[in-house]
Amino acid sequence: MSFESKEYDDWIKAGEISAKALAYGKSLIKPGAKIREILDAVDNFIIEQGAIPAFPSQISVNSFAAHYCSDNFDETIITEKDVVKLDVGACYNGALGDNAITINLSGEHSDLLDASRQALNNVINIIKPGITLSEIGKVIEKTIEEKGFSPIRNLSGHSLSLYKLHSGLSVPNYDTGSKITLEKGMIVAIEPFATNGFGLVVEKGVPNVFMQFRKRNVRHPFASMVLKEIKKYKGLPFARRWLEKKFRKELVNQALDILVREDIIVAFPPLVEKNQGLVSQFEHTILVWDKAIVTTKLDDLN
């Protein structure tokens, strides 16, 4: 991919829309706000910008690191004590952006936020072709531990390619010793997670995020109808709430169960910190060039 190619422009555009969506979502996060309403607004914002969500906009609160949904998701309200992670991304002609921030409504956990924010900035400063995953992981681990926190070891950044949010390479948040290198032209999302807990996440609760991973049909007539809708998401992750706009809730639940059982889609349950530690996360999408080009940065796109 060269600077002159159309694909390059698409990655820049996807990053720009992702960053704008993140800023917009951030402006809506206030005590008393309903999580469901913010997520719908951000998903719609991305569509209004001429893109589609690269994955369902997500808000994970306190010890939840990702894929959060409460038992009463539609009614869950943000409180002034919450540490709120907002993770959003746009897909533009297949090119993707993925970015996240943490908002500290009480102001009590700024050290925890600094740990993951600083880790991300330190990685951006050292990224260049030939850097090993080990070097990246080491910088994240060191930055977070120096501030007295732990990186979450079983969450990682990832490479991206057209219509593929996770295109094969995991970028670790600790030193794995991996000698695999980043090369010029690769696109990676770097997302350090810091916690005052154990440093691992476990799955908990009912999944709200899914992804089709097998192109197979299903016999069950209603599951087949829902699958037809799912195919429109082009292999990108999707939300239960999106399907509920088209079909009745009970039928969506039934169809998703069948499709998971038949190995056609995969479910991503909420991920919570093992010891209920608080979790912070910052994320940018980066084009590896002679140095890092952060595509999800609003002020300086070059």
| Rounded Cα gap, residues 127 and 186, in angstroms | 11
Written as one letter, the residue type at 21 is A
Among candidate residues 172, 122, 178, the one with its CA nearest the CA of residue 146: 122
Element at 160 (helix H, strand E): strand 157-160
Q: Is 16 in the active site? A: no
Among residues 189, 218, 227, 255, the one that binds Co ion under rule CB under 5 A = 189
Q: Which stretch binds Co ion (CB under 5 A): 49-57, 167-175, 189-197, 220-228?
A: 189-197
Token pair for residue 232? 């429109």
Marked catalytic residue, from 43, 87, 114, 141: 87
For Co ion, the closer of residues 16 and 98 by Cβ is 98
Measured between alpha carbons, how far is 278 from 150 in angstroms, rounded to an integer? 11
Total of residues contacting Co ion (CB under 5 A): 2
| Binding residues for Co ion restricted to 91-120, rule: CB under 5 A | 98
Residue 281 Cβ, how far from Co ion at the closest point, in Å? 9
In the complex with Co ion, the residue whose CB is nearer, 46 or 189, is 189
4 is catalytic: no
Catalytic: 158?
Answer: yes
Q: Which residue has the tokens 């910008």?
A: 49
Residue 165 tokens read as 């949010």
How many Cα atoms sit within 13 Å of 42 on the Cβ side?
Answer: 33
Select which of 10, 16, 82, 98 is catalytic.
98
CB closer to Co ion, 43 vs 98 = 98
CB of 283 to Co ion, least distance (A): 5
Kindly list the residues in this chain that would bind Co ion in the complex (CB under 5 A).
Answer: 98, 189
Residues taking part in catalysis: 87, 98, 158, 166, 191, 283
